[in-house]
Structure 1
Amino acid sequence: MRLHRFKLVPYLPAMAFLVTCSAPQHPAHAPSADVHPVSLRPAVILRAGWHADEKDVRPGLVYDRSVRAVFVHHTDNPNDYDCKKDVPRMLVALEQRHIALGWDDLGYNFIVDRCGGIYEGRTGSAERDVRGAHSEGFNNDTVGIAALGNFGAGQKVPVPMLEAIAEIAAWKLDPDVNPLGKVRLVSSNNSSRYPKGTAVELNAISGHRDVYQTDCPGQALYNDLPWVRQAAARLREEAARDG
């Protein structure tokens, strides 16, 4: 499995950019055990590594007992950033933007950069199944992964970024969920594409637009999701073969 190498960089002033994804907040409950295979865990840059602003994060994490699906997003900011110099301040800006919207923390569980770096988003996501605020109506038992950039039609999604998304999906999806398969999820409110209580069959690795009125994660990244599914399935096969 590919390892991500990174160097911590000093904190820089936050840079504002647009965020196109939204979701509600939830009360906390007791955490469940982390059942995801250690052998599939990629290198993750934790919140301390990108100098997350912890002072405004509200207490009360919400833990789920499974991960049935992954939703892929993009953050809709420029793609020409420097992965070492710019990403930490961009993540702080993203966190501050989400908190300013009234959320209790950064909404995405993980963020990936164009060089393939994987960053812990919402507090605790690297260790537990923490409920994010990324796909309104479908936050329960899912993980939100945001690609740092804008990947609308005509853009090219870097291969290291796609590989990183696949690595998170292979690791975080429940062992009985096939990355190439479908899952049944139930909408939790009326703000998504589906009325509250509606059961929906979705790809285990889906785009945000599949459940919400948005173009997120951009047409280019959405078109690459079949590749991501294949890569995630291959990672699981390799891990099973290697024991």
Structure 2
Amino acid sequence: MVNITNRSGWGARAPRNRSTTTWASRTGFTVHYSAGPPTQTPRQIQNFHMDTRGWADVGYNFLVDQAGNVYEGRGWLVVGAHAAPHNTSHIGVCFIGRDGDATPAAKAAIRGLYDEANRRAGKNLSRSWHGGLSGNSTSCPGADLRSWVRAGMPVSGGTTPAPTPPASARPGTTAPAWPGPILIQPPVRHTQTCRRWQTRMRERGWRITVDGWYGPASERVCRQFQTEKRLSVDGRVGPETWRASWEAPIT
């Protein structure tokens, strides 16, 4: 999992509006650069996009600095404003800096975001750079990052093919037999069933601690998942929710 500084962590302004998409609609991953000094902050870039360009928010889905720190922009499934007409289909990631400023740490972080996007999508997204997308005549992200993307976004000195998500993380995987007992709280109980379910939810991209304890945080994830999948929303992990955790599409 990629360590991402959330919006509140970098002092983001609230967006004026937002629209979302689905993983089924995501087909690509696009690399950009800010073309400014690497000392820029995500907030400065957001201010420029909102106040000068009149956009609803920072244009990118994520931003990465020279040290390899990752910052949440619009996030995984919010439509960006980085490369029209590809904003719905492509996740936009911006390196904060100019051509030649990208460090190995920055490239590793961008590659980590790409691998995480593939894991969440349950498929391999196409790799691209801003100027390589149809309808986008621009030198962004500069010669260095453009060559790096063309080479397959290698890290540690070698070209690493984009991994195929493990079978356990793909939608449509047959659920293991329901082991029981039903997960419910209070009281907070520790079970292997809970640990296995938490692990599966983590594989699907949910932020959940895998510790085997079914408490308020796990119940909150359960309710959110049940709402998303249009199941009975009761906060209990029983046979129906268990099965959906493996077999329902990742959205």
Following the alignment from structure 1 to structure 2, what is the Cα–Cα distance between the partners of residues 50 and 103? 19
CA positional deviation for 1:236: 5.3
Following the alignment from structure 1 to structure 2, what is the Cα–Cα distance between the partners of residues 218 and 53? 28
Identity value in percent:
26
* Partner in structure 1 of residue 153 of structure 2: 228
Q: Are residue 46 (structure 1) and residue 6 (structure 2) matched?
A: yes
Higher helix share: 2
In structure 1, list runs of 5 or more residues that go unmatched: 1-40, 82-86, 180-203
Any idea what SS the aligned residue of 1:228 has? coil
* Partner in structure 1 of residue 141 of structure 2: 217
In structure 2, list runs of 5 or more residues that go unmatched: 170-202, 204-251
Deviates more, 1:69-78 or 1:93-102: 93-102
Residues 1:228 and 1:105: Cα distance change in structure 2 (over 3 Å): same
Q: Is the 8 A contact 1:166 1:231 kept in 2?
A: no
Q: Residues 113-165 of structure 1: CA distance to partner in whole angstroms, max 9, x if unpaired?
A: 1111110011xx1xx511111111111221000000001xxx25311111111
Following the alignment from structure 1 to structure 2, what is the Cα–Cα distance between the partners of residues 232 and 121? 26
The normalised TM-score by structure 2 is: 0.57
Following the alignment from structure 2 to structure 1, what is the Cα–Cα distance between the partners of residues 65 and 164? 20
* Partner in structure 2 of residue 95 of structure 1: 46
Runs of 4+ in 1 over 6 A off after TM superposition: none
**Which has the bigger relative contact order, CA under 8 A and spacing at least 6?**
1
Any idea what SS the aligned residue of 1:214 has? coil
Q: Residues 192-233 of structure 1: CA distance to partner in whole angstroms, max 9, x if unpaired?
A: xxxxxxxxxxxx110000121000000111111124164462
CA positional deviation for 1:59: 2.6
Q: Is the 8 A contact 2:28 2:89 kept in 1?
A: yes
* Partner in structure 2 of residue 7 of structure 1: none
RMSD between superposed Cα atoms in Å: 2.4
How many residues in Structure 1 have an aligned counterpart in Structure 2? 158
Amino acid at match of 1:64: T
Q: Are residue 165 (structure 1) and residue 103 (structure 2) matched?
A: no
Following the alignment from structure 2 to structure 1, what is the Cα–Cα distance between the partners of residues 101 and 56? 33
Residues 1:236 and 1:114: Cα distance change in structure 2 (over 3 Å): farther
* Partner in structure 2 of residue 64 of structure 1: 22
Residues 1:99 and 1:223: Cα distance change in structure 2 (over 3 Å): same
Q: Are residue 141 (structure 1) and residue 89 (structure 2) matched?
A: yes
Give the alignment partner of residue 35 of structure 2, picking from 54, 61, 76. 76
